[in-house]
Each structure stands twice: as structure tokens, then as C-alpha cells.
Amino acid sequence: MAASDAVPVSPATARESDAEARLWRRLTVAWMLIVFALFLVLLLLGLAMRLSQANLLQKLTPEYFYAILTLHGLGMVGTWFVGAMAGVSYQLTRFARPSLGVARFALLGTLLGVVLLIAATLVGRFGTGWYFLHPLPFYSAGVWPQWAVGAFFAGLGVLGVTWTVWTLDLLRALARRYSLGGALAWPTLRGRSGPETPPFVLVTTASLLSGLASFAAAVIVLVLYLAEWLGTDVKNDPLLMKNLIFFFGHGLVNVTMYLGVALVYDLLPPLTGKTLKTNRLVAAAWNLAIGLVLVVYFHHLYMDFIQPRALQYIGQIGSYLISIPAAVISIFTVLYLVYRSPVRWNLTSLFLYFGVMGWAIGGVQAVIDSTIAANFRFHNTLWVPSHFHTYYLLGVVMMILAFASHLGREATGVPDRPGLARLTATLFLLGGYGLVVMFAFGGAHSVPRRYSIYPQELAQGALYARVSLLFITVLVVGILLYLWDTARNCWKAMSA
């Protein structure tokens, strides 16, 4: 990313009127409030699981543990995806004009999908894990009823359709402003002069295109599951289903992170007094990312001996390559932005900066885990939740929380509180890193993941869970401080 020290110039606004701008802001604030509420609930579910693993919540039976595990995983990924999409949609109105109607439809569809998933898991005790690997949904061992299977797949179906429509609408809005090549900075890539592609537009376009592929994979999985669930003679191949499920799941997580980075590219420069421009390297990296997202998920199937070896190698090489556009370039960009800059360190800039750094740290862990030789040791140990909590909770979640803080302040005009921001960030980072380090210790000692209660042979797993409770408490205090500041601003913005 090339940067200049020029005073940032705002792009021309795409908002037709102040009234429409207010509607967009209200809708986005509503999204953020919903995201906060879901985050708190899902956080408490995560706490319940760690309490169970620490042998401090013995009333939590294994069937509820796995139902909670399913909802926590799926819920967190979905919540932050919609948070990122809402943030990007809002920021995109400065460059293009997404449909407000589609955005509202996305809100309603998401709520319906969430209700169905909550019913399937917390009421129906559907507990396959977010990955619902074939044929587990059909073999409940009497734990979940058939209606829970239906509710789960209906929930996923509603979310899949809703998010696909939402994604298509944002792409449609971009297409009104840019050609495909323009949105993906192909002229820059070819070294030609021409209209500039803002980094935000480039990353958003790349992310949305990757997202489309993920949703298409999800649709195929759901159709195949439906064909089998409806009682036809047709059965599915578990290997094909696993490939498609991780195509969807890994892609969704990737896209969420990229959308978070798009927000960083848009929000951080004004706080540092610098501007960002897309150069050839950045254009190449993000174009490459679109293709790589389609193949990196192979690293989830290293333990599937039947998967052809060539695909395993592609998974490892792809995982290494994808860290270049995603992590390396973004990290150097952010470091350049803050280096010797008069940064306004408020909640937004702190969370954006540390979000990118958390993403980098989690990314390194992920690259280690995507190395076949290392995965042989780390697969299905607590190392895995360690790395995905690092790049999620301490990465993209911080980026989206930064956006929400920016939105609340922009909407209400409430001034920054640097002291409170520093305290909030400190508690969030201390609690968050303590949580993931306990997971990492567990992984390094081969403590398996997804155990509701650790047997005597794995007693250290319970010990790490107990220590992590201290850090979770600190994290929760940090989050509550954040919400006290930001959620209040958002609430004010809603009622304004």
C-alpha cells in the first residue's frame, strides 16, 4: 500500500440526501446493537463451556455442551460476518449506493435465521458442531429430534439466501460505479494510468466475490443434505460433503476478516493524517487472494487420508501464499500509517491497530497449523481454538468494534475519552490474550478440543480452563467498559 502524507480527501458522497444518510446510519446502528447483544450471549455460552471444562459447571450435560458448542461457533462466525457486512455497507455508501431495502431484508433474514438456529440448538439440542459433518446430523443417538435437524438446515438456508442477496446487492452497487477491472484495480496491476481504485473498494470487492463462492458451496451442501434428509434413496459422499462444508466455513471466516481489513483501510488513515493508495503490489495481492480462498480450505482435510495428496500440498502452499496479501501487506500498511504519525489514539484507532496485530499473530499460528507436519501434532488439539480465537476475537472482532465505536461517535458527536479507551483496550487485550494463551498451552500439551469434561488423563486441560476463567473475567470487564461507552452512543444515535 502506498501512502502519502497529504491531507486525506474524502470521496464524493453517494448518499442522495441527508434523510437517506440518516436511514443508513440508523440501520447500521441497529445492526451494531444486535451484534453487541449476540456477542454477549455467545460470549456467555463460551464461558459456560470453559466452566464445564474446568469442572465448575457439572450441571451442563454433554448434550447441551455440544449444542452450545454448535451455537457458539456458528453464532460467532455469523454475528461478526453480519457486523462486518453492515460496517462495509455503511462505509460503501461513500463510494457507491447499495440498496437500503436489501439491507433491511438482510437484517430481517438474519434475525429469522438466528432464531431458527437458537431453536435447533438450545431447544432441540442439535449438537454436531458448526461443521455439521455428514452424516452426523442424521445420527443423533436420541439427543436431538428430527425437527431440530430441519430447523438447523432451515436456519442455514435462510441465512445463506439472505447473505447471498446482500452480497450480490453490494456488488451491484459497486458495478454501477466501477467495472470489474476497475473495482479490482486491474489498470494499476497492469501499470496503466487511469482512475484510482480506493483500497477499501478493492478489498471489499475481493471479499464479496470470495463470499459469493462460499455461499454457493453452502447452497450445494444444503441441497445435498436436503435430498438425503427427505428420505430419498440417495446418499452423499462424506468426503465431498466435508470438502464443501469447509469450502463454505473457511471461506466465510476468511471473508469476514477481509471485510474487517477493508474497514481498517477506510477508517485508520484519517486518524493518522495519511492517505492510502492502491499500488501494483496491493492490487496483485488482493486479486490473488480471491483465487486462493477457493483452495486453502484443503488444510482442514489433512487428516482425511483419502483426500488426494496433491490437494493436501495445494492446501499447504495456498495457506502460505494467502498470508501475503491478507496479513503481511496489511500489517506493513498499518505500521506505516502509525509510524511517526500524529495518531489520534481513541477507541477506534486502538482497536483497529491491535486488531490487525491480533490478526497477524493468529495468522502465524494458523500458518503453523496449516503446515502438514505440524498439523499432524496440533490437529484437533486446543491449538486450533487458540489460533482462531486470536485472529477472530483479537483480530476481526476488534476491527468491527472499532467501526462501531467510530459510528457511535460520528452519529452523536460525543468526544473521545482517551483514558477510558486505553483502559478498555488494555483489559480487552489482557483478557483476550490470556484466554488464547491458555488454549495454546493446552494445544502444546496435546489437550484435545471439543471435550465437554476432561478425564483424569487430561487433567491439565481442566487446569488451563480454570486459569482461562480469570482472563475471561478480565475480558468481560473490558467488553462491558467498551459497551458502556459505545453501546450508549449507538443507543443515543438510534433514538436521535
Partner 1 sequence: MGYRPQLLEGDVGLRRRIRRLAAAALLLLASAPGFAAGSPPPRPVEDFYLYRPVSAIHFTDTRGEVHQLSDAWKQRPLLVALVFARCAEICPPFLRSFAEAVRTVGGAGREYDVVVLSFDPRDTASDMAAVAARHGLAGVPGWTFGVTSAAEAGSLARSVGFWIRWDAERELYDHPAMLAAVDRGRVVRLLVGATVPPRRLREVVWELRRDLVSTYPLPSEKVLFRCFGYDPRTGSLTLEWGLLLLLAPGMFTVVCAAWIFRGGRRADLRHDFDPKAVR
Q: Does 6 interact with partner 1 (rule: CB under 8 A)?
A: no
Q: Which residues contact 413 (CB under 8 A, 6 or more apart)?
A: none
- Grid-cell match 488482493, residue found: 286
In one-letter notation, the amino acid at residue 61 is T
Single-letter residue type at 251: G
- CB 120, CB 155: distance < 8 Å: yes
Q: Give the one residue of 45, 156, 224, 429 binding partner 1; rule: CB under 8 A.
A: 224
Q: Which of 155, 182, 199, 478 touches partner 1 by CB under 8 A?
A: 182
User: At its nearest, how many Å lie between partner 1 and the CB of residue 340?
Assistant: 30
Query: Which of 92, 120 has the CB closer to partner 1?
Result: 92
Q: Does 9 engage in binding with partner 1 (CB under 8 A)?
A: no
> What gap in Å lies between CA 88 and CA 24, rounded to an integer?
12
Distance CA 423, CA 444 (A): 31
DSSP annotation of 139: -
Which of 4, 146, 179, 380 lies at the binding interface for partner 1 (CB under 8 A)? 179
User: Does the footprint of partner 1 cover residue 13 (CB under 8 A)?
Assistant: yes
Bin 385: left if φ > 0, else alpha if -120 < ψ < 50, else beta.
Answer: alpha
What's the min distance (Å) between Cβ of 305 and partner 1? Answer: 6
Closer to partner 1 by Cβ: residue 118 or 213? 213
**Cβ at position 101, least distance to partner 1 in Å:** 12
Q: Of 7 and 310, which has the nearer Cβ to partner 1? A: 310
How far does Cα 152 stand from its chain's mean position? 20
Minimum CB distance to partner 1 smaller for 180 or for 470 = 180
CB-CB contact of 493 with 26 (8 Å)? yes
* Three-class DSSP category at 275: strand
Q: Which of 4, 5, 6, 11 lies at the binding interface for partner 1 (CB under 8 A)?
A: 11
- CA dist., res. 327 & res. 32, Å (int): 26
CB of 94 to partner 1, least distance (A): 9
Residues 234, 342, 415, 457: which binds partner 1 (CB under 8 A)? 234
Q: Please tell me whether residue 183 binds partner 1 under the rule CB under 8 A.
A: yes
What is the Cα–Cα distance from 48 to 65, expressed in whole angstroms? Answer: 8
Q: List C-alpha distances in Å: 78 to 85, 342, 417, 475.
A: 10, 36, 31, 21
| Strand partners for 3 | 276
**CA 15-257-243 angle, 5° bins:** 120
Work out how close the CB of 120 gets to partner 1 at its nearest, in angstroms, rounded to a whole number: 23
Phi-psi region at 7: left, alpha or beta (left = phi > 0; alpha = psi -120 to 50): beta
The answer to whether the CB of 493 falls within 8 A of the CB of 449 is: no
Which of 233, 342, 455, 456 touches partner 1 (CB under 8 A)? 233
Choose, by CB under 8 A, the member of 209, 401, 425, 463 that binds partner 1.
209
Q: How far is the CB of 179 from partner 1 (least distance, A)?
A: 4
Which range touches partner 1 (CB under 8 A), out of 33-41, 215-223, 339-347, 452-460?
Answer: 215-223
For residue 448, list its beta bridge partners: 381
- Judged by CB under 8 A, does residue 156 bind partner 1? no
Q: How far is the CB of 206 from partner 1 (least distance, A)?
A: 11
For partner 1 (CB under 8 A), the number of binding residues is 52
CA-CA-CA-CA torsion sign (323, 325, 330, 332)? positive
Considering only CA atoms, which of 316, 326, 332 is closest in space to residue 367? 316
Give the per-residue contact string, 88-117, with partner 1 (x = CB under 8 A; - = no): -------xxx--------------------
Smaller CB separation from partner 1, 332 or 376: 376
277: helix, strand or coil: strand
Does residue 94 contact residue 10 with C-beta atoms inside 8 Å? yes
Among 213, 281, 364, 372, binds partner 1 (CB under 8 A): 213
Interaction between residue 273 and partner 1 (CB under 8 A): no
CB-wise, 241 or 483, nearer to partner 1? 241
Contact mark string toward partner 1, 328..367, x via CB under 8 A: ----------------------------------------
Footprint on this chain of partner 1 (rule: CB under 8 A): 11-16, 95-97, 135, 168, 171-183, 194-196, 209-210, 212-214, 216-217, 220, 224, 227, 233-240, 243-244, 247, 294, 305-306, 308
